[in-house]
């Protein structure tokens, strides 16, 4: 087992990883930018190294600086968290070249599955249903390719994620313009302007399956997460299990995730994302070759520690979870992503000093955060303040507990999305479990009327 691991990330996820490392008896190293000297993850680590100026491209995205921090501190492995370099094949390869263990899949797997077009091919090879779409990236004959699929279609960036480089096209007259916009956005966000086309499903659910596979070929798929509540392709609330998934369907989803992991020869923890129509038919969408933001809801209902599984796999050890009981879970969990955004100003980022920070507690409450009273939010990074994870014996109780916890949460000095989450849990459609990826659009439109 490793003695020291460097966490190549910041804030909430860095603290989350460090907590597991401490429980495993492994020392942690934090890296930080000049803007993050007062960030909580720096205080929580056993050691900390400044790696550059405030902008992420000059610090958290600087591979040479991170590798230097590894050498200086004598760390044996790097945990990338999520975002930044977590799905960067060049970083994974650089770690391997320098004798450093990258806690995640190898560069070939990241390259193969991180590129959505090639991931689709692997899904087809594994017999997993995919939405009708182009066989590869589209560079010419836009209209011909789109008409083969049938409008409406989605133009999607082949590299990256987070809702970047996605366009819905319902009319052929708008195809060229939207193609150019999607390609330009993808190039700016990921350094790769390649896109491909998929059939657009009306009012689908976004369902994903967490899996873990060790180097011995042992694989486990965990119960699904429902991530349908999104705004502009960015997830706001996630829950597990999905209110729309039966045990029979759950078995099929888990089998599909396992087939994909085996087909790709994947080693590590990952997530297979699907779109599911109202008839319960699901289609492969993409693979995330890293830890997901919403991984705590899976941990809440299974008592697994997914970071621990990542570390064990990277150390060449077996999974600690039991593959034979992959679907075993208890209760229901909901995660609320609380962001520093001003709902009244179209979710504009809200920066400044946190004057008040009073967090909820009590049974079934977990809060993953790097916030504290008096902390000043830097303008350079993601706006997420905290993840409020609520567990209860059933979904109705989890919703009631969410309402209570959201009501206890007190933040001043900055604007937050707490009121948006209160709107969600009070909504009859959400309470009935009748949601899809267009839910937030309808909710926010109704609020304005």
Residues catalogued as catalytic: 290
Three-class DSSP category at 70:
helix
Distance CA 256, CA 123 (A): 9
Three-class DSSP category at 123:
helix
Three-class DSSP category at 207:
strand
Q: Annotate 307-321 with DSSP letters as a single string.
A: HHHHHHHHTTPPPSS
Q: 244 phi and psi, to 5 degrees?
A: -100, 0
The residue count for the chain: 449
Q: What CA–CA distances, in Å, run from 16 to 121, 300, 306, 369?
A: 34, 14, 11, 8
Q: Which residue has the tokens 């989890």?
A: 398
Q: How many CB atoms lie within 10 A of CB 140?
A: 6
Distance CA 285, CA 198 (A): 9
Q: Which of 324, 333, 329 is nearest to 304 (CA)?
A: 329
Per DSSP, what are the bridge partners of residue 5?
28, 77
Distance CA 237, CA 122 (A): 29
**Furthest CA-CA distance within the chain:** 60
Three-class DSSP category at 409:
coil
Per DSSP, what are the bridge partners of residue 274?
207, 284
**C-alpha triplet 126, 209, 242: angle, nearest 5°:** 130
Look up residue 34 and give its DSSP letter: G
Spatial strand order of the sheet with 77-79 comes to 47-52, 27-33, 4-7, 77-79, 101-102
């Amino acid at each position: 087992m490793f003695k020291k691991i460097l966490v190549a990330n910041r804030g909430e996820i860095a603290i989350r990883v460090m907590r597991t490392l401490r429980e495993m008896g492994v020392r942690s190293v934090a890296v930080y930018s000049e803007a993050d000297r007062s960030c909580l993850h720096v205080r929580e680590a056993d050691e900390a190294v400044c790696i550059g100026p405030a902008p992420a491209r000059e610090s958290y995205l600087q591979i040479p600086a991170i590798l230097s921090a590894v050498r200086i501190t004598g760390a044996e492995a790097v945990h990338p968290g999520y975002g930044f370099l977590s799905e960067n094949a060049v970083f994974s390869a650089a770690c391997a070249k320098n004798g450093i263990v990258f806690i995640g899949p190898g560069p070939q797997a990241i390259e193969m599955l991180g590129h959505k077009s090639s991931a689709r091919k692997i899904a087809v090879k594994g017999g997993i249903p995919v939405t009708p779409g182009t066989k590869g990236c589209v560079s010419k004959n836009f209209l011909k390719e789109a008409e083969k699929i049938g409008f409406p279609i989605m133009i999607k960036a082949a590299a990256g994620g987070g809702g970047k480089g996605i366009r819905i096209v319902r009319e052929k007259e708008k195809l060229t313009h939207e193609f150019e916009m999607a390609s330009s956005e993808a190039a700016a966000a990921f350094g790769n302007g390649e896109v491909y086309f998929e059939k657009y499903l009306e009012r689908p659910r976004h369902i994903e399956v967490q899996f873990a596979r060790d180097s011995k070929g042992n694989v486990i798929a965990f119960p699904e997460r429902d991530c349908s509540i999104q705004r502009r392709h960015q997830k706001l609330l996630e829950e597990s299990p999905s209110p729309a998934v039966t045990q029979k369907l759950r078995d099929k989803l888990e089998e599909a995730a396992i087939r994909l992991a085996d087909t790709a020869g994947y080693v590590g923890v990952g997530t297979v994302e699907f779109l599911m129509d109202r008839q319960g038919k699901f289609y492969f969408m993409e693979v995330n070759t890293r830890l997901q933001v919403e991984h705590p809801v899976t941990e809440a209902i299974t008592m697994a520690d997914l970071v621990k599984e990542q570390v064990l796999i990277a150390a060449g050890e077996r999974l600690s979870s039991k593959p034979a009981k992959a679907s075993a879970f208890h209760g229901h969990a909901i995660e609320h992503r609380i962001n520093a955004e001003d709902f009244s100003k179209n979710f504009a980022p809200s920066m400044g000093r946190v004057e008040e920070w009073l967090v909820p507690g009590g049974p079934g409450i977990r809060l993953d955060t790097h916030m504290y009273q008096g902390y000043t939010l830097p303008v350079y990074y993601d706006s997420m303040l905290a993840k409020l994870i609520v567990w209860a014996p059933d979904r109705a109780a989890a919703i009631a507990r969410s309402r209570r916890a959201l009501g206890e949460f007190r933040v001043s000095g900055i604007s937050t999305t707490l009121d948006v989450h209160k709107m969600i849990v009070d909504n009859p459609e959400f309470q009935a479990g009748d949601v899809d990826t267009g839910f937030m659009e309808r909710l926010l439109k109704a609020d304005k009327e």
